[in-house]
């Protein structure tokens, strides 16, 4: 039975193993059973599912996942947590504990081996500093994903589902919208964690698209254009694109493409929709 959501049990296991939180891993463990149940419900975990959990910590959410899923692979980068996980998860025969950096794992091979190549569900409680690389790594590697349900800093969740013209809107918003539909399913205050973070968090579910919502000739080039458009937010779009050394586009080419789309020369990247970025990238790629 899952018991680590109760604060006293979390404290007891941390004291038993003399565990010290490491700032470099951004460790904050959930201590609220209601939030844990919301995550499981939002991720729609069933007995048919193979779940990849990123950052299990001491196994708090892993226990819940094991009770609902067919199989769970818990990937933890901190080797000091492995003995704790082995104890807290010893009652479950449907979990694999992997001491590894998720960014270095071949998730496609994992899906093939453990889920017959079918789309997998990812569940994670991600530290702020690594959220974007992990989310983008999952999406850009084109591994078969059904959904990604993650606990992130509230500000990052807001950025993921932001629309054009808002201050939160940026390259991450567009990438998330290209690969998935995003929905914030719960806001989580700092007192639901140990140690207590300085900011609020949110659970966001990313339901992966079977096909991207826009057609584009070169996906990688689209995201180079998007990143260049937001690197210097205060500049106009044509200056942002023309000034980016990583993009083989002159200011003149950028100006011509922007004009061809019927947009003013003073337009900024933050006002363009995903569809407009796709059309712009296709024009610039010719």
Q: For 144-199, what is each residue's pLDDT tens digit? A: 999 999 999 999 999 999 999 999 999 999 999 999 999 999 999 999 998 888 89
Q: How many CB atoms lie within 10 A of CB 168?
A: 16
**Concatenated DSSP letters for 41-62?**
HHHT--TT-EEEEE--TTTHHH
What's the predicted TM-score (pTM) here? Answer: 0.92
| Exposure b/e, 68-81, CB count within 10 A at least 16 = b | bbebbbbbbbbeeb
Predicted confidence (pLDDT) at residue 233 exceeds the cutoff of 80: no
Question: Which residues, other chains included, contact 173 with Cβ-Cβ below 8 Å and sequence gap of 6+?
Answer: 159, 160, 161, 162, 163
Predicted confidence (pLDDT) at residue 2 exceeds the cutoff of 80: no
Give the pLDDT of residue 118.
94
Q: For 77-124, what is each residue's pLDDT tens digit? A: 999 999 999 999 999 999 999 999 999 999 999 999 999 999 999 999
Is residue 283 within 8 Å of 257, Cβ to Cβ? yes
Task: For the chain, give every residue range classified as CATH 1.10.8.100.
Answer: 219-285
Predicted confidence (pLDDT) at residue 70 exceeds the cutoff of 90: yes
Look over the chain and give the mean of its residue pLDDT values, rounded to a whole number. Answer: 93
Q: How many CA atoms are closer than 13 Å to the CA of 227, on its beta-carbon side? A: 11
Q: Give the mean pLDDT of 16-45.
A: 87
Least confident interval from 10-14, 17-21, 36-40, 256-260: 17-21
Task: For the chain, give every residue range classified as CATH 3.40.50.150.
Answer: 7-208
Is residue 264 within 8 Å of 272, Cβ to Cβ? no
Predicted confidence (pLDDT) at residue 141 exceeds the cutoff of 90: no
Residue 158: closest CA among 176, 133, 138, 179:
176
Fold of 7-208: Rossmann fold (3.40.50)
Q: Give the mean pLDDT of 66-78.
A: 96
Question: Tokens in use for 180?
Answer: 């998935």
Is residue 143 within 8 Å of 179, Cβ to Cβ? no
Task: Give the strand pairing for 50-54 and 120-125.
Answer: parallel
CATH number for region 219-285: 1.10.8.100
Predicted confidence (pLDDT) at residue 27 exceeds the cutoff of 90: no
Least confident interval from 19-23, 165-169, 195-199, 248-252: 19-23
């Amino acid at each position: 039975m899952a018991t680590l959501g109760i604060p006293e049990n979390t404290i007891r296991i941390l004291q038993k193993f003399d565990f010290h939180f490491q700032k470099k891993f951004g460790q904050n463990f959930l201590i609220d059973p209601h939030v844990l149940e919301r995550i499981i419900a939002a991720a729609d975990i069933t007995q048919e599912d193979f779940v990849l959990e990123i950052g299990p910590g001491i196994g708090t959410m892993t226990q819940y996942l094991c009770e609902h899923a067919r199989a769970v692979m818990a990937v933890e980068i901190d080797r000091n947590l492995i003995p704790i996980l082995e104890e807290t998860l010893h009652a479950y025969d449907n979990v694999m504990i992997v001491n590894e950096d998720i960014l270095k794992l071949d998730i496609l091979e994992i899906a093939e081996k453990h889920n017959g190549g079918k789309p997998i569900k990812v569940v994670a409680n991600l530290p702020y500093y690594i959220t974007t690389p992990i989310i983008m790594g999952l999406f850009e590697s084109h591994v078969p994903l059904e959904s990604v349900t993650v606990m992130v800093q509230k500000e990052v969740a807001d950025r993921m589902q932001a629309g054009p013209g808002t201050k939160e809107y940026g390259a991450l918003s567009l990438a998330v919208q290209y690969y998935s539909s995003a929905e914030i399913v719960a806001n989580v205050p700092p007192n639901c964690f140990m140690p207590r973070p300085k900011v609020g968090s949110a659970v966001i579910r990313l339901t992966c698209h079977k096909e991207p919502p826009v057609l584009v000739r070169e996906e990688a080039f689209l995201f180079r254009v998007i990143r260049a458009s937001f690197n210097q937010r205060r500049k106009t779009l044509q200056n942002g694109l023309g000034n980016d050394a990583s993009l083989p586009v002159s200011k003149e080419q950028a100006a011509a493409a922007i004009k061809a789309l019927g947009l003013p020369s003073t337009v900024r990247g933050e006002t363009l929709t995903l569809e407009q970025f796709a059309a712009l990238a296709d024009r610039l790629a010719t």
